[in-house]
């Protein structure tokens, strides 16, 4: 690895650690550079363009590695005949496994726990979008899984499909954040995986989606109806 590349990696690793331990908004660029042993105080600007660029890079760097596991899992399940084309009959449980299992595996490692804490914060930041993330060509496993999930809720409007994808990832990262922080007691890895899959199945299942839409159609109208308006 070149000296340039090595400095970039050290900054990313330092940022992931400090962001996880103290919170994104409570860590200065100077502190990140000190931990990364970078003397050049313009290194964040040089490597990433801005502080937000560093946050995005720190998130994607680890998420790409997780996605490789997702690709392997999807391939092992033989979800479709063509390498990257999904049919409408791909089993929901296998698609959810491809999303959940790599993240639980990540949360079971020391570095992974830091990433889960950091990623849960990233997902709360303004401008974060699961749809945008799923369009990244560097994340083929995520692209495939999200396309498949949309197929299971194709009776819903696109805005509601996006909402469900958003709910899935916030639910997974929020739950795993609580798990790695010890807030769920001595829940085992197998249990957290099983329960996440069960809950997410209810969130996505097309029959449940149809029922919830009918209930929503009869609910009192309020201020927040953006997802029910025509797209």
**pLDDT digit string (tens) for 133-176?**
999 999 999 998 999 898 888 889 999 999 999 999 999 999 99
Q: Which tokens is 84 given? A: 């990257």
Domain annotation covers residue 133: yes
Q: pLDDT value at position 76?
A: 81
Q: Does pLDDT of 185 surpass 60?
A: yes
pTM for the model: 0.81
Q: Once rounded to an integer, what is the mean pLDDT over residues 114-125?
A: 94
Which pair of tokens denotes residue 183?
A: 């807030």
The whole-number pLDDT of residue 180 equals 95
Residue 58 near residue 118 (C-beta atoms within 8 A): yes
32 and 68 assigned to the same domain: no
Asked if 16 and 118 touch (Cβ cutoff 8 Å), the reply is yes
Domain count of the fold of the chain: 2
Residue 138 belongs to what domain range?
59-220
- The answer to whether residues 78 and 4 belong to one domain is no
Residues 188-201: what's their mean pLDDT? Answer: 95
Closest to 229 in 3D by CA, of 4, 61, 221? 221
DSSP for 117-144 reads: HHHHHHTTSTT--HHHHHT-TT-HHHHH
Measured CA to CA, the distance from residue 151 to residue 187 in angstroms comes to 32
End of a domain among 26, 49, 72? 49
Instruction: Please identify, among 49, 71, 89, the residue that sits at the C-terminal boundary of a domain.
Output: 49
45 and 65 together in one domain: no
Give yes or no: residues 43 and 149 share one domain: no
Query: What was the pLDDT predicted at 91?
Result: 82
Give me the percent of the chain exceeding a pLDDT of 70: 80
User: Do 166 and 96 share a structural domain?
Assistant: yes
Mean pLDDT, the chain, rounded, equals 84
Q: Are residues 70 and 176 in the same domain?
A: yes
Q: How far apart are CA 128 and CA 15, in angstroms?
A: 18
Establish if 229 belongs to a structural domain. no
Above 60 in pLDDT, residue 195?
yes
């Amino acid at each position: 690895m070149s000296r340039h590349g090595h400095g970039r990696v050290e900054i990313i690793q330092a940022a992931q650690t400090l962001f996880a331990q103290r919170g994104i908004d409570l860590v200065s660029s100077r502190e990140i550079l000190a931990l990364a042993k970078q003397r050049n105080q313009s290194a964040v600007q040089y490597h990433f363009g801005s502080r937000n660029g560093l946050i995005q890079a720190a998130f994607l760097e680890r998420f790409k590695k997780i996605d490789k596991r997702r690709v392997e899992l999807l391939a092992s399940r033989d979800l479709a005949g063509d390498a990257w084309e999904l049919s409408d009959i791909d089993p929901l449980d296998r698609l959810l496994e491809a999303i959940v299992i790599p993240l639980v595996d990540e949360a079971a490692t020391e570095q992974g726990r830091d990433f889960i804490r950091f990623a849960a914060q990233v997902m709360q930041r303004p401008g974060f979008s699961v749809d945008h993330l799923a369009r990244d060509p560097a994340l083929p496993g995520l692209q495939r899984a999200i396309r498949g999930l949309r197929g299971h809720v194709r009776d819903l409007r696109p805005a509601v499909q996006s909402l469900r994808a958003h709910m899935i990832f916030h639910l997974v990262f929020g739950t795993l954040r609580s798990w790695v922080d010890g807030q769920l007691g001595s829940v085992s890895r197998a249990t957290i995986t099983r329960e996440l899959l069960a809950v997410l199945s209810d969130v996505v299942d097309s029959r449940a989606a149809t029922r919830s839409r009918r209930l929503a159609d009869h609910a009192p109208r309020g201020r927040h109806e953006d997802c029910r308006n025509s797209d």
